[in-house]
Amino acid sequence: MFRLTIIVAATKSNGIGKNASLPWRLPKEMKHFTLATSTAPEGKLNAVIMGRNTWESIPMKYRPLPNRINIVTTRNKNYELEKNAHSYLHADLASALAQVDSQANSIHRAFVIGGASLYAESLALAGTSSIAIVDRILLTRILSPNFDCDVFMPDFLGEKKEGGQTWNRASHEELVTWLGFGVAEGVQEENGVKYEFQMWVRGL
């Protein structure tokens, strides 16, 4: 069984999007996302798993996300993905995970990058999948302002009691060690938005 990492920016009420796009513009936070999902040892790549809407929200000139294996899931059997050596299309999360598992020797880490339904499905893997489990969440917590969102990720902290599993917040030092690069500590402010880089680890 391999371990999945969710990476997400979310408000205190877990809002992640508005009108099919991000409600905020945070270049430094986006750089953090890029570094986190692309940093890998020589000879290996990370995989980023996403739903079709998340794929289409990426400007065409930036996709597929470079230096990463892009895996897109959609139930649309007629959907056509731009042909590229590092882009793959799958009908569901299960087949996407099977691909990652089959390439385990060449993939360093696998990240789920959105959207909301894929976050929910991947978090529910604990106890249902023999292939993978989400054991880590890289969360950029948007502290203020209180953005009006119409898409939300699951409240993984609020749901922890039901499954009998706990999510523990890692220290800043643990976050830096796991990522392998420097991360700004404490509350950051960019374009009038206050946020904080956090890492949460599932207690199994």
* 3-state per-residue secondary structure call for 75-114: CCCCCCCCCCCCEEEECCHHHHHHHHHHCCCCEEEEEEEE
pLDDT bucket at 144, cuts 50 / 70 / 90: very high
- Helical ranges in the chain per DSSP H: 27-38, 52-57, 93-102, 116-123, 160-163, 172-179
The whole-number pLDDT of residue 162 equals 46
**pLDDT reading at 16 higher than 90:** yes
Strand partners, 90: 73
Tell me the pTM: 0.94
pLDDT bucket at 85, cuts 50 / 70 / 90: confident
- Calculate the CA 149 to chain-centre distance: 18
Contact 125, 112 (CB under 8 A): no
SS3 77: coil
SS3 51: strand
**pLDDT reading at 192 higher than 90:** yes
**pLDDT reading at 1 higher than 90:** no
Contact 93, 69 (CB under 8 A): no
Each residue of 44-83: pLDDT tens digit?
999 999 999 999 999 989 999 999 999 999 999 899 998 7
**pLDDT reading at 159 higher than 70:** no
The whole-number pLDDT of residue 204 equals 57
Q: Which tokens go with 18?
A: 């508005």
The whole-number pLDDT of residue 131 equals 85
* Amino acid code (one letter) for 186: G
Residues 6 or more apart whose CB falls under 8 angstroms from that of 184 comprise 28, 197
Contact 125, 6 (CB under 8 A): no
Q: Which tokens go with 65?
A: 């996300």
| Residue of 4, 26, 29, 121 with catalytic role | 29
* Amino acid code (one letter) for 154: P
2-203 carries CATH number 3.40.430.10: yes
The whole-number pLDDT of residue 10 equals 98
| Residue 22 annotated to the active site | yes
Compute how many other C-beta atoms are within 10 angstroms of the C-beta atom of residue 161. Answer: 9
Domain limits, the chain: 2-203
| Residue of 22, 35, 45, 179 with catalytic role | 22
Pairing state of beta strands 193-203 and 45-51? unpaired
The whole-number pLDDT of residue 130 equals 76
**pLDDT reading at 163 higher than 60:** no
